[in-house]
Each structure stands twice: as C-alpha cells, then as structure tokens.
A and B are shown apart, each in its own frame.
Chain A
Amino acid sequence: MKLPKRLGWKSGGILIALLIWFTFSIWGADRPIGASTAISYMGAWLFGLENSEYGKKIANPGAWEVIFLIGVLIGGAFTSIFITKTFKFRILPPLWKKHKNSSVASRLFWSFIGGFLIVFGARLAGGCTSGHFLSGASQTAISGLIFGGIVIVALIITGRTFYKNL
C-alpha cells in the first residue's frame, strides 16, 4: 500500500472532525480536546506551584493533556519519520529567512518570546486553538467564537507588520 506524502485540507478537516466526535463521546474521553493547560501544568510543577490556587484548579485537565501531548509527540515523530519523511533537526524556517532574517540567534530569541506570549495569552483567555477554536466553536460556544475572531484579526495584523518583504 502506498500512502500519500501529504494530506490536503479536506482530508485533514474530516479526520479532525472524527477525532473531535470520538474525544467528546461517552465511548471516548467525554471531554474536549485541549493542549495549553498541559504547558501551564508542567510550568507550575517546575516552579513548585502545584499546590497554589491555579495549580490545583488545572491539575485534572493539565494531567489529561500531558498524556494527550505525549501521544501527540509519538504520532508526530512516527508520521514525520515513516510517512512524510520530513524528520530533520533544524532551526531556521525558510519563510523566516525570506521575510525576517538569516540569524539563528534572532530566530531563537523570538521563538522564546513567541512561546512565552502564546502560553500566557492562552491562560488569560482560558484556552488555545484546540480548546477554544476546535472544541469551543464546534459546540457553538460564544467564548470560543470571540476568541477565534480576536485571534484571526490580531494574528494577521502581527503577520503583516512583524515580517518584511511581503
């Protein structure tokens, strides 16, 4: 059997919808898909804050999402090595080189800042692309729709101003 090297947006969207149904269903996990709580759960643990007010609040979803993310790492590594054959250690994305600069130090600095902002913002908002958008908007949750609208606008404004030679 020959597997395709890439899936298009239609197959990708259908598979994600099937996974959302399974995860929500009583035969699955009876809960939504989420990812950002796991990062704060691990962050809280690193700084010994697991017994703080927020540390206790996120313990259950955080633990669930840590196991989920371990699965994500396994699935991602497996697919990149055996199916898409794209596994490779690298630092500079080609598009960053084209529209920002060719400096490894600059890319690593901004990656750190970007990662920091993403998790801090997601925690303020109470979710990320997975929790608010995939899971929230699928339930027609108004919180998810507000988050999605704000993120799309701010994402494009940042993309059009932070990068050059557009």
Chain B
Amino acid sequence: MIEFINQTLELVKTQHHGSIALILFIGIVFGMVIQWTRVDTFDKIAGFAMLHGFKVPKMLFFGIGIASIGLYFMIKMGWAHYHIKPITLGGLIIGGIIFAVGMAILGLCPGTGPVAVSEGNIDVAVGLIGGLLAGGLFTYLYPELKTIMGPNLGKLTLTGLLGKNADWFIFVYGIALIAIAYILPEREIEEEVGEI
C-alpha cells in the first residue's frame, strides 16, 4: 500500500500535469459539483436509461456545449492544448456497448461512482471491486485484446477536418449541444435516500 502511494506520487511529480495539491483541487471541485447536482445517484443515471428522468444528459450536453466553444479559442490562443483519443473503431463500438450495459445496471460510471461511494452507497463500492477486477483482467489480456480494438483511424476532430471553417463551426457545434440540453424534457426523478 505504502509502496503504491509512493510510486503514484512519484509518477505524478515527474509528468508536469500539475502539483498534487492542484490535482486534488480539481478532484474536489468535480466531486462537489457531481454530489451537489445529485447526478451521482442510481435514480438519476439508471432513471435516464429507463427514460424517466433527463437531468444527466441535460447537464452533460449543456456543459460540453459551453466548454467546447471556450476550449477551441483557448487552444487557438495557446492557453491549452488538444488531447485527442484515437478512433480505435473496434474498441469504441464493442467497449461502448459493454460500458453502457454496465452503466445502466450499476447506475453510475467511473467518474460519478466514487462520488456515490463517498456518500455511503455500499452497492456502488461493490461495483468498484468489480471494476478493479476488470481493470486487472484487461491489463492481463491486453496483448490479445489489442487486435480487436483496431483499426486505428487516427486522432481526428471535427474542427481539425474543417480547417478554416472551424471558427464558425465551433459556434454551431456548441450551440447545437446547448439546444439539445434545453430541448430534452424537464422531467426529473427526485431521488429519495435509499436504505440498507
């Protein structure tokens, strides 16, 4: 355990992506926003999978819509950089389906799950144990699995493909996402406190 912590701190120090305090700060704000909006509940996430409540997609689309426009100009100004994940088509399709089935059943995902654990959801802690096992197994099987994850079609973005037209496209993109957030029904499941 101590060895794990030391090794983790050492890795973070050598990679220049912020000090430990700064990363903790980012995590704390994330945890606070997710908990405060209560999108860390089974009721909100599985409720969306059942099409009973729409707070989760509304918040996601609204947040991404705003973030995309600002981020585009921040990158243009040199205040931020692109960090694009490759289009590994096989992995995206198979992985996306497996991920979504699990998300509908557990009612959480890797970012919101730890928030749910932090407020006392024992079932989600059991889900986290399942996740740790899956992480270990995936790491073990990676040499075989990487063949089905391809083909790798590169690290493409819509703004990159549009070149010069990206300056106005980013507004269309961002405003479209914000519009989706407004168009989705206001219906929301008011979560209750669960029981043991």
Contacts and interface: CB of A to CB of B under 8 A. Distances in A.
Contact of B80 (A26, A35, A95): A26
A160 B140 CA distance: 34
A91 B107 CA distance: 13
The 7 tightest CB contacts between A and B, nearest first, are A71-B27, A159-B49, A43-B135, A75-B31, A117-B102, A124-B95, A115-B127
A151 to B, nearest CB: 4
B176 to A, nearest CB: 11
B87 to A, nearest CB: 5
Interface residues of B, number: 140
A119 B106 CA distance: 11
Interface of B: 4, 7-9, 11-12, 15-18, 20, 22-43, 46-52, 55, 57-68, 70-72, 74-75, 78-89, 91-124, 126-140, 142-143, 145, 149, 155-160, 170, 173, 177, 181, 189, 191-196
Contact of A128 (B9, B99, B139): B99
* Consensus secondary structure, chain B interface: helix
Given A25-B79, A90-B195, A126-B91, A40 B139 contact: yes
Contacts of B37: 6-9, 11-12
Contacts of A137: 64, 68, 177
B98 A128 contact: no
Given A41-B135, A43-B139, A79-B36, 9 more contacts: A17-B66, A30-B80, A33-B111, A47-B139, A49-B139, A74-B31, A117-B130, A118-B102, A154-B96
